[in-house]
């Protein structure tokens, strides 16, 4: 959370005064997207926490490893 807040504050500070930004932005932060992400997070976090606590740990580790592998593969794929 502190890293996310610091990063967001940095994007806001860096983008203040820029002319090429669309309306409804606060620096480089697009406020409607921020609101959507916050609402989506508050809605889905309880379900994710419940699923993580009811799932066996080895299975949870495998799912996490697959997600990390897919994300790394996508990042490497878009690099080239």
Judge if pTM exceeds 0.85.
no
The sign of the dihedral angle between the CA atoms of 34, 74, 52, 61 is negative
| Structural domain of 33 | 2-79
Q: What is the pLDDT of residue 76?
A: 95
Greatest alpha-carbon pair distance for the chain in Å reads 51
Work out how many domains the chain is built from and give that number. Answer: 1
Q: What percent of the chain has pLDDT over 70?
A: 100
| Residue 27 to residue 1: CA distance in whole angstroms | 20
Residue closest to 5 by CA, chosen among 32, 34, 25, 33: 34
Reported confidence tier of residue 79, pLDDT bands at 50, 70, 90: confident
pLDDT tens readout for residues 22-58:
999 999 999 999 999 999 999 999 999 999 999 999 9
């Amino acid at each position: 959370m502190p890293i996310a807040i610091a990063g967001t504050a940095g994007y806001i500070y860096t983008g203040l005064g820029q002319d090429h930004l669309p309306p409804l932005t606060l620096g480089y932060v697009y406020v409607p997207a921020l609101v959507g992400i916050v609402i989506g997070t508050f809605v889905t976090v309880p379900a994710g926490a419940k699923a993580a606590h009811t799932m066996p740990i080895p299975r949870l580790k495998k799912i996490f490893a697959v997600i990390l592998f897919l994300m790394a593969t996508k990042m490497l794929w878009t690099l080239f």
